[in-house]
Amino acid sequence: MEVIPTGFDGLFEIRPKIFEDDRGWFMESFNEDRYVKDLGLTRPFVQDNISSSGLHSLRGLHFQSPPYAQSKLVMVTEGMALDVVVDIRGGSATYGKHYKVILDAEKKNQLFVPRGFAHGFLSLEEGTIFQYKCDNLYNKDHECTLQWNDP
C-alpha cells in the first residue's frame, strides 16, 4: 500500500495495492499489522459503519467529543465522494484548516482520519456507498456537528 502524507499530522490518504487478473481483482482493505506500522495506529477499530447516499447528498461535518472521540478509516465501495475533514485540534499548526480528497470506488483509495477532525462528504454519484472503520463506539450524547459552510 502507498501512504500519502496530507500536510496534516496523522491524516493520510492510502492507496491499497490491487491485484488484478482475468477473474477480477483482490485487495486488502485493512491489515492491522501494516496499518499500525505504517500509520502508527494505537487503538483497534471497534465499530464498522456503511451508508448509502443519493447523488449530491451532503453528510457532515461530524465528530464526537471526548471520551468518545473517534479515528476513522474511510473508503467508498460504490460510486464516488468528495471527502472533507477539518482540523479541530486546539493548538494544532493546521487548526481550522480543511483537507479534501475524492474517494473513488474504482481507485479504492482510503483516508485515515485521526481523532480531532470533523469529517463529512458529498456524494458525487447516485448510490454512493461509504464505509467507515471507527476506533470508538458511537455515542449520541457526544455527537457534534459543524455546519458545512461555517467560515
Give the active site residues: 62, 132
* DSSP secondary structure letters along 78-123: ESEEEEEEEE--TT-TTTT-EEEEEEETTTT-EEEE-TTEEEEEEE
Cell of 126: 447516485
**Nearest 5 degrees, angle CA 105-CA 94-CA 11?**
30
Residue 151 in contact with residue 86, Cβ under 8 Å? no
Integer Cα distance of 113 and 65 in angstroms: 15
Cell of 27: 485487495
